[in-house]
Chain A
Amino acid sequence: MSTAWTYNPQPPRPDWGVRAPALKKLSLRQPIRAAPLPVEASMSLQIGGSIELPAIVAPGDRVQTGQAIARNTDGMAVHASISGRVLAVGPQRAPVASGRPVPCVVIRAEGPEQMHGSCIPVNEDLLSPEEIRARVAAGGIVGLGGAQFPTARKLTPGVPIRALIVDGAECEPWITCDEVLLRERAGMVIEGVGVMMRALGTDHAVVAVEADMPEAHAALDNALGAGGSGGIGIAVVTTKYPAGGERQLIEMLTGDEVPAGGLPRDIGYVCQNVATAAAVGELFRSGRPLISRIVTVTGGGIAEPGNFEARIGTPIRDLVQAAGGYRAAPHRLLMGGPMMGFALPDDDLPVTTATNCLVAALATELAPDRPEMPCIRCGECVQACPARLLPHELLTAVRRNDAGRLAEFGLRDCIECGCCDYVCPSYIHLTARFSAARGRERSRA
C-alpha cells in the first residue's frame, strides 16, 4: 500500500540520553579487513536467546560454506561459515548473557573453501513478498544490531507499513561496524533496503545516520543518486546515546511512540539495522547467506584496532590476534559497547551474529569501582532516561519488590540502556537491578 509519508531529514534534538565520548576514531583508521578463516568454527543454533534450530547435520558430515546445517519448520536456517567436517553437535560455550552453554555445530576446516551450490543470486523483482520472506528466512538472516531477531518475521507485518526505518545511528561508544559498512558498502545496504521494502509492501524507507558520520552520509547519498531514489531518504539524528535505540529512533524520526508492550509495526513502522539490510542485499545479489558479519575490535587494549569481516563462529581470540593481539593487559573484554555490552569471562568464545563489537578495555577506560551511595534525588537519571521513567523511584520499587509500584513506575518500559547508571553520582547500579527484576518478572510470567 502506498500512503503519503514524510520524514524529517533533521530530526529534533532529544532531551533524553547522554553524550558520552564516542571513541570511534580508534577503529576507523583502517578499512574493513577480512579476518582469517577459522580452523574451527562453533556456530550457535540459538537465535535471539529463545529460538533453537534443530541441527540437520551430524558429526563426521562434510559441509561446504553456505550450506544449511540447521533448519526449523519456519524455514529459518543456520549455515556453515567454513568448509570442512562437522566435529560436534551439542551444547558449547557461547557469548551469551546467561553464561550457559548453547546448542552449537562445530566445524573443523578441511580442504579448500567451497561455496555450497545453494548459494545463487536471485532477482527479487521476480519474487512475491512471500517468496522474499521465505528466502530471507532460508538465508539465515537475523537482526545484526545485537537483538538477533529473525528478519523474515519482522518482514511479516500483517498490517500496512508506512515506512521502513533503517537504523544506522550507531550510538554506542567505540562501535563502528555500521559506520564502516555504510562508508564502504552503502550500495549493498540500499539494495537490501529495496528488497525489504518490497517484502513489506511499503514505498517509503529512511536510513538514519548520526550527525558525526559525514562520510557514511555521503556514501549513502552517492548510492542513492542525486535527490534520493526509490522512496528512500536519509535522516541525520543527533549524536547522542541511545539515538539508535529502536523506540527512540522512531520517536525522533516520526514523532510517534511505539505503544507500551507493543511493536513498531503496531504504528506502521518496521525497524531494521543497516548491517541486516546489507546482509539481505548480499543474499539476493550474490546468494550468500549469513555466514559472516563485521565486528569492531577496539579499545586501548588492542594493538591495531579496526573492523573485521569475520566468519560466524570464529574464536574471539583469533579475531583479537588479527587485530595485532592485546597491547596491554585489558581489564575487561566487552562484547558490545560500554553502555549495553556485556563483559566476557574470557576470549575462548565464538563470534556470533550478535557480536557487533569487541572492546578490550583498559582499567583506565572504564569506570572505577566506587561504593554505592544512597540516592540523593538529584534527578540526573530522570533527565537522562529515554523512556521517561523515574529510575530512582523504580529503584525503590525494585528494592521493595512491590509489584504495584513496579508496574506504576514502568519496569516493563525500561529499555535497559544504562543511561541512568551513566549519570548517577551515587554510583547506584540501577540498570543491573532493573534487568534482574525484569528477568524475575519474566520467569514468573
Chain B
Amino acid sequence: MKFATAPAPHWRPAADVAAVMRQVLYALAPAVAAYTFFFGPGLLLNIVVATAAALATEALALRLRARPARVFLSDGSAVVTAVLFAFCLPPLTPWWITVTGIVFAVGVAKHLYGGLGYNLFNPAMAGYLVVLVAFPGKMTMWLPPTTGDLDYQSLSLWQTLQYTATASLPAGFEFDAVTRATPLTVVRTELGLMRTMSEIRVNPVFGDFGGVGWEWIGNFLTLGGMWLLYKGIIRWQIPAAMIVSLMACALVFYLTDPETHPSPLFHLYAGGTLLGAFFIATDPVSSTVTDRGRLIYGAGCGVLTYAIRTWGGYPDGVAFAVLLMNMAVPLIDRHTRPRIYGH
C-alpha cells in the first residue's frame, strides 16, 4: 500500500493566525458592548467604517504587491487592526478621519513595511497617531456617558450616523453641547489651571475612581485580557509589566502630592491603559519575542505612558509609548537573546 509523504513534524497547532485573530476579536467584544452602552452607537459605526476601509486597503496593497489576496484577507489581522483603531476613536468621528487613519495604518505602517509580520510599528497605533496629530480637536472630545447625572442630550443611532457621514449634527444639536472632554483631558487642563485633584474630581465625568463608563469598559477589557491569557494567545509579561510600571510611577507621584497627581487607579482605568496593556502592546509582530524582553518592553510602555500623560503634549500617552517601544524592540530582542543550550 502506498502513502503520501511529508516532512516531520506531522502535527501542527490547532490555532492558525486567523484563529488567533478571531480570539482577539472575541476578547474585545465585551468591552465593545460596554463602550456602546456608555457612549452610544458611535463605536459600532466607526468599527464598520474602519473594517471596510482596512479590508479595502489590504486588498489593494496585496494586489499591488502581488500576494494571494484570499489567504491574507482571511487572516483577520486587518480586522483586528480596524477594531483596535476604532476603539481609540471618539464615538463621534467623521468617516474620513477613520478612513485616513486606517489607510495609513494598513497601507503604510503595515504594507510599506512588508505586510503581516514585518511591520515595525503597531499599525492601529500608527494610524491613531496620524489622526491625532492631523485632527487634534476632534480626537479628544468624547460623548458624555449615558449614566450618571449629566445633562446630556443622547444621540440616536441615526443621528450618530448622520454625524459620522457628514460631520454635522442634526438641527438643534451643537457639537460642543453634546460632547465632553475625556477624564484625562479634564485632569490635564484643570491641573494646568492650578486646580487640585479634589476640586477636579467633582466634575461629573468622574466616577468612583476613574471616569464614568471608563471604569466598566476597563473591567471588560481586563476580562478580555484574561480570556486571551487563558487561551494562551498572549503571555502575562507585557500586560503585567506595563500595568505595574505605570501604576508604580503614578504611585510615587501620588504619594508625594495627591492633590496634583491622579491616583494609580485612575491611571489604570484612564484612556488606553488597559486596551494598550492587553490588546495593543501585546501585538506579537511589533513586540518582543522572549519573556525577559517582554518584561522590559511592557515596563517601557508603562513608564513612557505615564511620562507622556504627565509631562507630554497629549492627554494620553499609550499610543506614543507603544510606538516608541516598538522602535526599541530590535534592541531589546538583541539583548535578551537566550543562551543557546550547551554554549
List A residues at the B interface (Cβ < 8 Å).
Answer: 20, 173, 247, 251, 257-262, 317, 326, 330-334, 336, 338-347, 361, 366-368, 370-371, 373-380, 382-383, 386-390, 392, 410, 413, 416, 418, 421-427, 429, 431-432, 435
Contacts and interface: CB of A to CB of B under 8 A. Distances in A.
B313 interface: no
Interface residues of B, number: 43
Interface in B277-308: 284-285, 287-291, 294
Given A332-B10, A425-B13, 6 more contacts: A332-B5, A334-B10, A338-B9, A346-B1, A373-B116, A390-B337
B289 A377 contact: yes
Contacts of A261: 342
A387 B343 CA distance: 10
A379 B3 contact: no
Nearest to B329: A377
B115 A374 contact: yes
B8 A374 contact: no
Contacts of A382: 289-290, 338
A376 B5 contact: no
A405 to B, nearest CB: 12
B66 interface: no
B4 interface: yes
Contacts of B240: none
A258 B9 CA distance: 25
B17 interface: yes
A178 B252 CA distance: 59
A326 B2 CA distance: 12
Contact of A258 (B118, B289, B342): B342
A374 B341 contact: no
Contacts of A20: 11
Contacts of A429: 7
B78 to A, nearest CB: 13
Contacts of B338: 382, 388, 390
A421 B117 contact: no
Interface string B67-81: 010011001010000
A358 B116 CA distance: 39
B117 A375 contact: yes
Contact of A332 (B4, B16, B68, B285): B4
B343 A379 contact: no
8 contacts: A332-B10, A333-B3, A343-B7, A373-B72, A374-B115, A376-B17, A422-B13, A425-B19
B339 interface: yes
B3 A340 contact: no
Contact of B3 (A330, A341, A423): A330
Given A260-B342, A317-B1, A388-B339, A425 B7 contact: no
Contact of A413 (B4, B9, B77, B341): B341
Contacts of B133: none
B1 A326 contact: yes
B165 interface: no
Contacts of B2: 345-346
Contacts of B20: 378, 425
B117 A341 contact: no
A373 B342 contact: no
Nearest to A347: B1
